[in-house]
Amino acid sequence: MNSSQDKITMSVILIAGKILLSSGAEIARVEDTMKRMALCMGYNNSQGYVINNFINFSLSENHDTRIVRINKNATNLLKIFQVNSISRQLTNNNISIHQAYNLLSNIEHTTLTIALWKKLIAAGFISLSFLYLQGGDWQNIIPTFIAGSVGFLIVEWMQSRSPTMFIPELVASFVLGFIILLSAKLFNTNQTIGPAMIASIMPIVPGVLITTAIQDLFSRHMLMFTAKFLEALVIAFAIGSGISIVYLIF
């Protein structure tokens, strides 16, 4: 990889793939975006292989293979949209490869920071929305809002300290389940506890993970479907275990 065009093209493709993969995009989208970028720059025989934690890509059989490892994955739909927009502009020759590199570099180093209290309020309203859909009682509005927000707070805090799987959801589901059951005991609302319990766990359910796993299945990426589906299954098991422990205590 001696020419400047090879180097800048490879850099742009790997940055785009890295942003997409780390932002929670499905594997088919990552591979298709990288291939289209290479194709628009005149590399018709590019080869790429992507799994959940690294990207392997080569412009052709005559070029070196580059590997990029992804250390952390976090859902960020805004970055996925921005990378898709830049790739379309590049393939339509609306921007140059150097402009694409500058734009993607800015996206890569941009952190979307939303105040934690805003996230907690949003999680609480998500729980209330599902409480309404489940036909919950008005007496469970406040406990559901609090439980949903606290559960989401625990997951956010524990994952910011250490990106572990299973444990944050287990602890969060235990705490939010404790809040719901305690409020039911105090206000004698045991008959309507089911909708409140279901609604309060929705902010920590791995919905995006399940959706992208199904998309990978339809795209015949069986390895990624299996990995993502098992991850979602483990998280769901952790949530169920936390709720079960609370029921055993009460």
Among 75, 108, 141, residue at a domain's last position: 108
Q: Does 142 lie in the same domain as 241?
A: yes
Report the b/e string of 57-92 with b at 16+ CB within 10 A.
bbbeeebeebebebeeeeebeebbebbeebbeebbe
Q: Does 93 lie in the same domain as 149?
A: no
Q: Does 157 lie in the same domain as 222?
A: yes
Strand partners, 48: 57
Q: Does 96 lie in the same domain as 179?
A: no
Q: Does 139 lie in the same domain as 120?
A: yes
> pLDDT grade, residue 75 (50/70/90)?
confident
pLDDT for position 108: 84
Q: Is the pLDDT of residue 35 over 70?
A: yes
pLDDT for position 138: 85
Domain that holds residue 151: 116-249
- The enclosing H or E element of 176 equals helix 167-187
Q: Does 237 lie in the same domain as 150?
A: yes
* Residue 188: other Cβ atoms inside 10 A: 8
Name the more confident of 188 and 97: 97
pLDDT for position 151: 94
Q: Is the pLDDT of residue 1 over 60?
A: no
Q: What average pLDDT does range 182-191 have in this prediction? A: 78
Q: Does 174 lie in the same domain as 155?
A: yes
Q: Does 134 lie in the same domain as 103?
A: no
pLDDT for position 26: 84
For the entire predicted model, the pTM comes to 0.76
Q: Does 237 lie in the same domain as 156?
A: yes
Count of structural domains, the chain: 2
Tokens for 6, please give them.
């090879």
Distance CA 129, CA 138 (A): 12
Positive or negative torsion for Cα 237, 241, 242, 246: positive
pLDDT for position 189: 67
pLDDT for position 99: 93
Among 108, 125, 147, residue at a domain's last position: 108
Contacts 24+ apart (CB under 8 A), 81-86: 82/107, 83/16, 83/19, 83/20, 83/23, 83/33, 83/107, 84/29, 84/33, 86/16
Q: What average pLDDT does range 172-177 have in this prediction? A: 94
Q: Does 226 lie in the same domain as 139?
A: yes
Among 108, 138, 169, residue at a domain's last position: 108
Q: Does 206 lie in the same domain as 138?
A: yes
